[in-house]
Amino acid sequence: MHRIAPAVAGLLLIGCASSHPPAVPAYEIRSRLREVSVGQSIAEVHEIVGNDAVRVPNHPDEPLTSPIRIIEFIGPAGEVRVEVYVVGIRPDDGCNGFQYQDIPVSYLDGRVVSKQWDYLEWRWQQWGGTIADLRSAQDRFACLR
């Protein structure tokens, strides 16, 4: 028969009783996004990436939503949707106490067209988006809380 030391058993119970939503490390989202390809549908991407929140260093009870930002509009090119996912996170002294790296998944008419900021910037205005909206989606250093 296996016995768990009382201190370890107490830690296990604390971990199970947590009230915040489950969260994964940012590198897990990055790994999932590697499986996303141009041409996949929104539903296929969501099946691969999921919607797990992302753990924040020194803020375990306040994970980031995933995706962290979504922009949608209908422009001359069609229906545009951009989902921004956190793929790297590190402690920092700024207002949030952290900085993050992100990847945008861009869709045109429900299909992935890119996972790069450069591509998105080149196409954004052609699709009918405003530069102000794009810049707000790219602002990784804004105070989120």
Q: Is 14 left (phi over 0), alpha (psi -120 to 50) or beta?
A: alpha
pLDDT at 72: 94
> Residue 11 above 90 pLDDT?
no
The predicted-structure confidence for 24-70, as pLDDT tens digits, reads as follows: 999 999 999 999 999 999 999 999 999 999 998 877 788 999 999 99
> Residue 16 above 50 pLDDT?
no
Dist CA 137 CA 106 (whole Å): 12
pLDDT at 9: 41
Two tokens at 18? 């947590």
Most confident of 47-51, 96-100, 135-139: 47-51
